[in-house]
């Protein structure tokens, strides 16, 4: 492990220093839910959270940029009142690392994997815990306006966020599903 970090830095440092690079910050609203599998439930509710973070962007070529982010995000269902998977009252907070590729410049598309690390959770409905590590896929669109940008991102987790027993006693896999609206600013 100790050898991997210096070797990785030796490989990435020339790429980062050679390319055109930008840094910035972002903040926005989340609409999150625990879905039953991949896109098992994608719905907009009145239970909102927020996210904030920073990003680093550098050119791979004229039309493609690599844009990793570090984002603090409130996730989970944030709702209660039923024993079905759609109404689990589960609030979670993650540090997410989206490893997005940005296609084009003014109006753009974002796509890539995302790694999430569970920071804290509050659960008000009994269920069996899932993983503290979240892995999924991001897809988004954005519009750059001078040094500002607006983005709409969709995230679907692939790893289990929670397991919850249904009425038959079977465990239902719950994954993170997230719709994010962000505003950001390029610092330089």
C-alpha 121/C-alpha 173 separation (Å) is 17
| CATH code for the domain in which residue 90 is found | 2.40.160.20
CB 166 within 8 A of CB 106: no
Q: How many domains does the chain fold into?
A: 1
User: What tokens were used for 122?
Assistant: 């509050």
Question: Helix, strand, coil % (nearest 5) of the chain?
Answer: 10, 60, 30
Residue 45 confidence (pLDDT): 57
Nearest Cα neighbor of 44 from 182, 153, 179 is: 179
Q: Print the domain residue range for 125.
A: 21-186
Q: What is the pTM of this model?
A: 0.79
pLDDT in tens, the chain (188 residues): 455 556 655 655 555 555 578 999 999 999 888 777 665 555 555 578 999 999 999 999 989 999 999 999 998 776 654 445 555 667 889 999 999 999 999 999 999 999 999 998 887 666 666 788 999 999 999 999 999 999 999 999 998 887 766 666 677 677 888 899 999 999 98
In a domain, 10, yes or no: no
**CA gap 158, 138 in Å, rounded:** 11
Domain membership flag for residue 12: no
Q: Does some domain include residue 154?
A: yes
130, 155 Cβ separation under 8 angstroms: no
Question: How far apart, in Å, are the Cα atoms of 162 and each of 108, 144, 150, 176?
Answer: 33, 36, 31, 9
Q: Which H/E stretch holds residue 101?
A: strand 90-103
Name the CA radius of gyration of the chain, rounded: 18
pLDDT the model gives residue 82: 46
Give the Cα separation of 163 and 73 in Å (integer): 21
Residue 90 belongs to some domain of the structure = yes
pLDDT given for residue 79 in this prediction: 60
Q: How many whole angstroms separate alpha carbon 71 and alpha carbon 56?
A: 12
- Domain assignment present for residue 129? The answer is yes
In a domain, 33, yes or no: yes
């Amino acid at each position: 492990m100790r050898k991997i970090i210096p070797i990785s830095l030796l490989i990435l440092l020339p790429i980062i220093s050679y390319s055109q690079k930008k840094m910035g910050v972002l903040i926005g609203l989340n609409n999150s839910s625990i879905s039953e599998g991949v896109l098992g439930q994608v719905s907009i509710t009145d239970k909102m959270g927020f996210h904030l973070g920073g990003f680093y962007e550098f050119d791979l070529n004229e039309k493609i940029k690599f844009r990793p982010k570090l984002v603090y995000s409130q996730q989970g269902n944030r709702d209660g009142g039923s024993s079905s998977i759609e109404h689990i009252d589960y609030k979670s907070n993650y540090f997410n690392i989206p490893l997005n590729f940005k296609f084009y410049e003014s109006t753009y598309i974002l796509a890539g994997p995302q790694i999430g690390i569970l920071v804290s959770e509050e659960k008000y409905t009994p269920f069996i815990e899932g993983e503290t590590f979240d892995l999924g896929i991001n897809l988004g669109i954005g519009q750059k306006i001078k040094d500002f940008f607006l983005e709409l991102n969709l995230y679907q987790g692939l790893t289990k966020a929670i397991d919850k027993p249904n009425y038959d006693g079977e465990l239902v896999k719950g994954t993170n599903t997230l719709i994010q609206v962000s505003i950001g600013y390029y610092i330089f």
